[in-house]
Amino acid sequence: MSQISSADPRTLSALFDSQSEANRAVDRLVDAGIHRDSVRIVPGNESDAAVENRAEQHQGFFAALSDFFFPDEDRYSYAEGLSRGGYLVVVDNLAASQHDVAVDILDDEGSIDLDQREESWRSEGWAGYSSESVSGYGSSSTRSSSLGQAGSATSSEATSRTLEEGSSESIPVVDERLVVGKRDVNLGRVRVRSYVREEPVSADINLHNENVTIERRSVDRPLGDADIAFTDRVIEAEEHAEEAVVGKEARVVEEISLRKEGTDRTETVSDTVRKTEVEIEDDRTAGSDHTRNRI
C-alpha cells in the first residue's frame, strides 16, 4: 500500500519511482479538476552515473525541499528518495472535496510506501532521520538547526567579554515552546468491488408422458348386441409429454456497504524544551551588599 503524506489538509505529497508514473498522476489530478498551478513535480537524480557522494546530494535535495514546509522526518526521507532517482509530486491549495479524490489518484498511479522503502534503505546502511543527521546542513531552515542555535548559549564555547566605556551588549533570553502539529497518515484502504461470475447448476424435475399404442388381435365369435357392424367409426387418441421449462429469477441475498466515520481523540505529546537562565552578579559594594540574582 502506498503512502501519501499530508502535514496540512490542503497539501498532499507522494513519492514515485519513475517520471512516467509521476506524470500520469499529475495528468489525472488535473483532469479531476485540480488546478495545474497547484500540482508540482520535484525531479530527483536523473543521471545514470553512480552517485559518488550521496550525503552531499541528499543535503542538496533536503535544502531544496525547504519551501514545502514538510515535517523534518518526511523531508529527510523524500530527499533520500530523490537522491535515488525518485520523483516527488506535491499538491497545494487542495479543496476538502478534492482530498479523497487526490489520494485515490496518487495511490492508484503507484506512489511508494515510504515506511517499507525506508526499511529497505536501512538494510542497505541508511541511518534514517535524526536531529544530528541534519545539524550540519548549514542554513537550511529546519527544526534541528533552530534547536542548535538556541542551545549555543549553554555550550562549552561560550565566551566572556568585558565592556568598554560607551559600549553595550545584550544577552537574549530565549524560551523554547513546544509546537505540536498534525499530519495525515494513510492507514490503508478498504475497497469493495462487485463482479459477475457464472457457475453451472442443476435441478431434478419429474416429467409425465402419455403414450398411445395400437393393438390388433385375432378373434372368432358371433356378432353380439354390443358390436356395431357396418357403420363408419373414428377413434382418436393424442400423445402428450411434459418438458422442462427453464427460467431465472434474480434475488438479493446479501448487501455489503461501506461507511466512513470520523472520530476525535486527544493524545498527550511529551518532549523537553529549553529556556535561557540568566544570573546577574552585582559585586558593587558602595552602599549595598554583594548580591547575586537569578532570573
Do residues 184 and 9 lie in contact, with contact meaning Cβ atoms separated by under 8 Å?
A: yes
C-alpha cell at 10: 490542503
12 sits in which H/E element: strand 12-16
For residues 146 and 278, the model is more confident at 278
pLDDT(125) > 90: no
pLDDT (tens digit, 9 = 90+) per residue, 232-242? 888 898 999 99
pLDDT of residue 50: 45
pLDDT (tens digit, 9 = 90+) per residue, 145-156? 333 333 333 333
pLDDT band (50, 70, 90) for residue 27? very high
For residues 131 and 219, the model is more confident at 219
pLDDT of residue 240: 92
277 sits in which H/E element: none
pLDDT (tens digit, 9 = 90+) per residue, 52-105? 556 666 777 777 777 777 778 888 888 888 888 889 998 888 888 888 888 899
Listed range (14-28, 136-150, 179-193, 266-280) with the worst mean pLDDT: 136-150
Tell me the C-alpha distance between 222 and 241, whole Å: 40
pLDDT(135) > 90: no
Q: What is the mean pLDDT of residues 158-175?
A: 77
Across the chain, what does the average pLDDT equal?
A: 78
Distant-in-sequence, close-in-space partners of 152: CB < 8 Å, separation ≥ 6: 158
Tell me the C-alpha distance between 67 and 84, whole Å: 21
Among the listed residues 49, 108, 43, 50, the one whose alpha carbon sits nearest the alpha carbon of residue 78: 43
Tell me the C-alpha distance between 43 and 281, whole Å: 57
C-alpha cell at 223: 356378432
pLDDT(257) > 80: yes
Neighbours of 268 (CB within 10 A): 5
pLDDT of residue 241: 92
pLDDT(178) > 90: no
Neighbours of 141 (CB within 10 A): 11
For CA atoms 103, 105, 108, 111, the dihedral sign is negative
In order of 205, 207, 234, 239, 243, the CA distances from 210 in angstroms are 17, 10, 20, 5, 12
Residue type, position 4, single letter: I
121 sits in which H/E element: helix 114-123
pLDDT of residue 51: 47
User: What is the distance in angstroms between the CA of the first residue and the CA of the last residue of the chain?
Assistant: 53
pTM recorded for the entire structure: 0.43
